[in-house]
Amino acid sequence: MTTGDEHSRINRAAWNRMADQYQEILAEMGTPSELTWGWWRHPEQRLGVLGEVAGRDVLDLGCGAAGWARRLADHGATVVGLDASARQLAHAGAAATAGARTVALVNGDAERLPFADASFDVAVSNWGALSFSDPYVAVPEAARVLRPGGLLVVCTSSPIYRLCTAPDADQPGTEIRCGYSDLHRSPGTTGTVRFQLP
Ligand SMILES: C[S@@+](CC[C@H](N)C(=O)[O-])C[C@H]1O[C@@H](n2cnc3c(N)ncnc32)[C@H](O)[C@@H]1O
């Protein structure tokens, strides 16, 4: 079991270490022209979870190199991209100013958001901070910075995917390998601490 400070430190260090390789993999996959969710790139246009973002204040929790944040800005949103990893944000630096609109970048932790209450209309985590922070802390924190009626959208793996992934494996198998109660907090394959609250 890790404390909040411990898992934040572990995950920040892991993402600083992995950032260059992660961005290389994303570059090889190519940049999607539209807003798409997750590793399998489900189009927002088909899922329709965000609604209209033009004119809205949007917070991207765990923005990485700000690909999503930048596309949200292209749709007319005012976007802040937050990430715990300075190395990920270094990749975002060039990307975030390359489009027609700029995206504000903040180095910070989803469990301790450096924003005033009721600052945003929408918060998103596209395999982002909410997969690596304690939902009992990060969800109320997201709610705090959202305006009344605000929307929090989290894209993460399904409980079945996690249940079938052995602690030392990086891909799921065909058998249940951990208990449902282990899903809240579990060791990730890349030296991270993973969280999932189904
Ligand atoms: C799998 S990457 C996803 C990045 C981006 N959303 C994307 O779609 O490419 C997860 C990101 O979450 C960030 N992250 C992890 N824990 C975080 C935390 N507690 N607060 C803020 N960012 C965090 C990592 O640094 C990393 O950039």
- Say yes or no: CB of residue 62 within 6 Å of ligand 1: yes
How many angstroms separate the alpha carbon of residue 61 from the centre of ligand 1?
7
Closest residue by Cα to residue 123 from 103, 151, 96? 151
Nearest atom within ligand 1 for CA of residue 16? 25
Domain boundaries, the chain: 1-32+52-156, 158-198
How many angstroms separate the alpha carbon of residue 149 from the centre of ligand 1?
25
pLDDT at 14: 95
**CATH code, residues 1-32+52-156:** 3.40.50.150
pLDDT at 3: 65
What are the pLDDT digits (tens) for 51-66?
Answer: 999 999 999 999 999 9
Q: Which helix (H) or strand (E) holds 195?
A: strand 193-195
Terminal CA-to-CA distance of the chain, rounded, Å?
Answer: 19
pLDDT at 123: 98
Query: What's the token pair of residue 145?
Result: 């910075």
Pairing of strands 185-187, 104-107: unpaired
How many angstroms separate the alpha carbon of residue 55 from the centre of ligand 1?
25
**Half-sphere exposure (CA, 13 Å, Cβ side) for 146?**
19
At residue 116 the predicted structure's pLDDT band, cuts being 50, 70 and 90, is very high
